[in-house]
Structure 1
Amino acid sequence: MVDHVLSAEQDRAEALVTEKVLASFDDAPDPRLREVILSLVRHLHAFARDVRLTEEEWDAAIAFLTRVGHITDDRRQEFILLSDVLGLSMLTVGINQPLQGTATEATVFGPFFVDDAPLVPLGGNIASGAPGEPCWVEGTVTDLEGEAIPGARIEVWEADEDGFYDVQYDDDRTAGRAHLFSDESGTYRFWGVTPTPYPIPHDGPVGDLLKATGRSPWRASHLHFMVTAPGYRRLVTHIFVEGDPQLADDSVFGVKESLVKTFRRHPAGETAPDGRTPDIAWTHVRFDIVLPPAP
């Protein structure tokens, strides 16, 4: 980086702009809003001065953010995608859900969650036609002391074997997502499809950013979970496939070692835990979930 030596007069003139902007928020009635906006202004102004931001670069940044806004709709959230690839999503998760005993670690929410996913019974199939190798998923939901949490709501969603979520298709399908509830002993179980690696959407401005900076859009294979229960902290997390080559280079920095699980492969015709005998190869994974109390 080139060192820029400023005259005392120029340095003071630039600092004065920041001081005036900060002072403009003196009467903000919400103390937390004032704290956040003042810090944002300080850091933004410091960034601009540090890199000596040009007007052309600022225009390009505005154009980039405008494109992010234009491509965002109720089926695609490019702003979340931008936050993800900059690592801000994972940093925010870490700040707000710090490690707590044996509690399951959280990771990024991602841009493809949809409210009102269909209810499936325990042992049901969330795939609903999504293509892919069948996968039996089971586990428990407990508290930090190992006591069962019955009735926990478990939202699950995933991409199909082609790397697409249902919302990325234009036929309004609902597939690869559902919700279910843990039973009285805190256990849950369902069929889905074995996760496979896929690239995040890179046909928009975020993809252009990754290309310009020499970064890959690929994500490690994963299955999304969101688990909620009264009196407990909400958990948003994934599980990842052991041995996936993308584990060390996940484009949104979401991989945590504790969330990497063994997906055991079984041949066609072998009896599954629910008594079925799939006529194609299938996998089996266990994911025990531990929720800490609500703050």
Structure 2
Amino acid sequence: MPIESERAVTQAVLRAVEQSADARHAELVGALVRHLHEFIRETRLSEQELEFAFDFLNRIGQATNDSHNEAALFSDALGASTLVCLLNNGDGAATETASALLGPFWRLNAPELENGASLLRSPTPGTPLLMRGSVQDDTGKPIAGVRVDVWQASPVGLYENQDAEQAEMNLRGVFSTDADGRFHFESVRPAGYPVPMHGPTGDMLRKQNRQSYRPAHLHFLLFRNGFKTLITQVFPGDDPHLDDDPVFGVTANLIGNYTTENAGTEQERCVLDYRFTMQPGEARLPVPPIK
């Protein structure tokens, strides 16, 4: 049927979408069409602005490669990743641990390490860090045999896949909780770092006069059959960017208490103790954003 008005465009597209035999597909794309068309009407989008949007989306794809996922970064910078995470995992109010976005730098097949091992595989100057973790269920019972995947940026603010000076899989490792639900490892205190600014996401942040530094954090992915996979981050409470994280990943329950031992001596180090709570559910690994 010929399109007779701008309102008829939306209805025609929705009728086409509803022909899908996949009900969830029809629901998602139908909602996308309705909201997208209303956005165009509300803003009276110009033809030039639509051309800009085409170019922007193309540049997201062109900026993505095996070591960088621009689409994930763009989603993070719009708060979409955190919103999806909180909608699907709750806000952490009932337990100590809230979920947090996966981020664009998780990799599969990090080395499996014994408790107490170091994440360092190449010289990595920085304040030594001892991290002691425990994992429990929502009744407070320890959970043994949890695979705890850990990754972090170096003190210069780069993950090892971004930095030719770091060895492969530096500052990454997988640990298993013991019979008491505990694990621990050594590393260096993480530092804040700017999100990658070379692509269209960086252009957007500059256009909005937003600062680009993420607060310092450690990433954790906890996996065990019978429990919902927990993806989270832990931040030091003294970081200056807790309130203006460009990817909106900081929640109150994820601020950890870093303490200092042997201050002012050669043995000075940071210590982080943190308890993770896992909920019953499906154990599922996410799709890695990079290789």
In the superposition, the TM-score normalised over structure 1's length comes to 0.90
Secondary structure of the corresponding residue to residue 249 of structure 1 = coil
Cα distance in 2 for partners of 1:244, 1:103 equals 20
Cα distance in 2 for partners of 1:241, 1:230 equals 30
What corresponds to 1:259 in structure 2? 254
Whether 2:141 is the aligned partner of 1:147: answer yes
Letter in 2 for 1:23: R
Q: Is the 8 A contact 1:195 1:241 kept in 2?
A: no
What corresponds to 1:94 in structure 2? 86
Q: Residue 62 of structure 1: which of 50, 54, 65 is its match? A: 54
Whether 2:119 is the aligned partner of 1:134: answer no
What corresponds to 2:215 in structure 1? 220
Structure 1 residue 269 displacement after superposition:
9.0
Q: Is the 8 A contact 1:103 1:291 kept in 2?
A: no
Q: Is the 8 A contact 2:96 2:253 kept in 1?
A: no
What corresponds to 2:6 in structure 1? 14
TM alignment of 1:1-295, pairs within 5 A: 13-99=5-91, 101-102=94-95, 104-129=97-122, 130-170=124-164, 173-267=168-262, 279-294=266-281
> How many residues get paired?
276
Secondary structure of the corresponding residue to residue 153 of structure 2 = coil
Structure number with larger C-alpha Rg: 1
Secondary structure of the corresponding residue to residue 23 of structure 1 = helix
Cα distance in 2 for partners of 1:147, 1:187 equals 12
Cα distance in 1 for partners of 2:68, 2:97 equals 28
Q: Is the 8 A contact 1:103 1:292 kept in 2?
A: no
**Percentage identity across paired residues of the two chains:** 35
Cα distance in 1 for partners of 2:174, 2:248 equals 26
Secondary structure of the corresponding residue to residue 131 of structure 2 = strand
In the superposition, the TM-score normalised over structure 2's length comes to 0.91
Secondary structure of the corresponding residue to residue 242 of structure 2 = helix
Structure 1 residue 14 displacement after superposition:
1.2
- Deviation larger for 93-102 or 160-169: 93-102
Q: Give the RMSD, CA atoms, in angstroms.
A: 1.6
Secondary structure of the corresponding residue to residue 155 of structure 1 = strand
- Deviation larger for 241-250 or 93-102: 93-102
Structure 1 residue 132 displacement after superposition:
2.2
Secondary structure of the corresponding residue to residue 287 of structure 1 = strand
User: Structure 1 stretches of 5 or more lacking a match?
Assistant: 1-11, 271-278
Structure 1 residue 190 displacement after superposition:
0.3
User: Structure 2 stretches of 5 or more lacking a match?
Assistant: 283-291
Letter in 1 for 2:42: D
Secondary structure of the corresponding residue to residue 147 of structure 1 = coil
Q: Is the 8 A contact 2:133 2:183 kept in 1?
A: yes
Cα distance in 2 for partners of 1:45, 1:169 equals 42
Letter in 1 for 2:83: L
Cα distance in 1 for partners of 2:164, 2:33 equals 41
Letter in 2 for 1:286: D
Structure with greater contact order relative to length (CA < 8 Å, sep ≥ 6): 2
- Deviation larger for 260-269 or 89-98: 260-269
| 269 and 103 in structure 1: CA distance in 2 versus 1, 3 angstrom threshold | closer
Question: 1:228-256 CA distances to partner (integer Å, 9 max, x unpaired)?
Answer: 11100110000001111100111100001
